[in-house]
Amino acid sequence: MVYTDEERKGIIVFTGRVARELLRRGYTIIDVKPDKTNKIKSIYVFRRENEIEKELAKITYKESEEPFTQW
């Protein structure tokens, strides 16, 4: 199942960590729904405002650039 936002009024976030960070940065959550592919998970819908796409990119990029553990 693919989640779509044809009217582009919201941003869909699939992880709680990213959702918490967006909330901490002052963005507005407009809905929480069960994930259709995994019933024990939730998805978070945020209002598309104040360049949320750029903040989302910063948050997710920071997660992927963490260095590997050194031996």
Identify the three-state secondary structure at position 49: coil
Contact between residue 44 and residue 32 where contact means Cβ atoms under 8 Å apart: yes
User: What is the pLDDT tens value at each position of the chain, 71 positions in all?
Assistant: 565 555 677 889 999 999 999 999 999 999 999 999 988 999 999 999 888 899 998 888 865 555 554 44
By C-alpha distance, which of 25, 23, 22, 41 is closest to 33? 41
Report d(CA 29, CA 48) in Å as an integer: 10
Report d(CA 65, CA 28) in Å as an integer: 27
Q: For position 62, what pLDDT does the model report? A: 65
Structure letter (DSSP) for residue 64: H
Report domain extents, the chain.
10-61
